[in-house]
Structure 1
């Protein structure tokens, strides 16, 4: 694991036991509906979830799919494993850094992430890995919070970003849509229901 990833991983390890409580209000008000929309777009049988965290997406997993879920934080995975066992979710959990996946090329019908690339040190490396492990004709689905298109709000986000990164390891000022479009995908679309700072991105290999 790269040094930058190791620093961020330790931050997520630290907050893992409290993570669901920290995001409970936002989860109830906003994120839950976005997760439903994200997972409704899943295609195929073999699915990879990147950044499973504490397992917030377990309730939206498609029936009868073969799902592998990864995270680079061992403590987050511990929380996810407990939830998996409690809810009896059929998922294989593995610790892995999205910047260096262990999977073979062209392995998954759909690769899916929710609020992950804010925490990846090199978005370009992570996206290239998602592209690599996705099957030809398959899709990569991303739900991400991004920097605002409003200059005044963007300036505030840029100002606050070092504090947020220091506390939890997440960047709040990334332009993930631009990063995805810079990758080798044949098409990239942003769901029309996306807001200014939350984007549902659909990329096709």
Structure 2
């Protein structure tokens, strides 16, 4: 694990005990409905959720799915384990998306939500997702990213240092561009704007 990854991991460990409290207003207003949309478009039976955090998505998965969730913050993962202790179809593992220990072509669907703002090397993480997802499998993402509206985008650039140094999240990541850099094809990516052009629901067919 490199120094940048350790730094971000330590920041998430540090805020883990208040993380749900910090996000509660957004969850109550709209985020929970976006999570429901995300889980509803999962395909197949073998599901990987990357960066589960405190486990906000995990209770939404139907019990017929076999879900593995990973996170590189052991303190965040501990919160998720407590939430899902009654869910026999969910297995949680401490693991870094940039260096996953799964075999190629393992999962029918890979899920992320508000993850790729924090992965130190997002292209490497996306390449790993592409690798472990089955050929013609699906990647579904609920992610926030930099606005392409001039005023909003510049404002996000100006403020990015605040969340980055508090808990390690970038608010100005170019996630769609990073997907293309990671080897996904533009014609296989479908996006839906949920909040301006900042929060998007992304569906990707993993054509290899």
TM-score, with length taken from structure 1: 0.95
Question: Structure 1, unaligned stretches of length 5 or more?
Answer: none
Q: Specify every segment of 5 or more residues in structure 2 that has no aligned partner in the other structure, as ranges.
A: none
User: How far apart in 2 are the matches of 1:24 and 1:170?
Assistant: 17
- Contact (CA 8 Å) 1:98, 1:129: kept in 2 or not? yes
Tell me the alpha carbon deviations over residues 67-116 of structure 1, each in whole angstroms, 9 at most, x when there is no partner.
1000000000111111112x535311101111100000000000000000
Deviation at 1:182, TM superposition (A): 2.8
In 1, Cα distance between equivalents of 2:49 and 2:201: 15
Judging changes above 3 Å, is the alpha-carbon distance between structure 1 residues 108 and 194 closer, same or farther for their aligned structure 2 residues? farther
**Aligned residue number for residue 104 of structure 1:** 103
SS of match in other structure, 1:165: helix
| Residues 12-91 of structure 1: pairs in structure 2 closer than 5 A | 12-85=12-85, 87-88=86-87, 90-91=89-90
* Mapped contact 1:177–1:201 kept (Cα < 8 A): no
Tell me the distance in 2 between the aligned counterparts of 1:202 and 1:2. Answer: 30
Moved more, 1-10 or 187-196: 187-196
Match of 1:11 in 2: 11
TM-score (norm 2): 0.94
Displacement over 6 Å in runs of 4+: none
Superposed displacement of residue 178, structure 1: 1.6
Q: Answer with 49-58 or 179-188: which moved more.
A: 179-188
- The answer for the alignment partner of 1:190 in structure 2 is 191
- The Cα of 1:185 is off from its aligned counterpart by 2.8
Q: Deviations over 1:43-78 (max 9, x none)?
A: 000000001111100221123111100000000011
User: How many residues are treated as equivalent by the alignment?
Assistant: 204
Q: CA RMSD in A?
A: 1.3
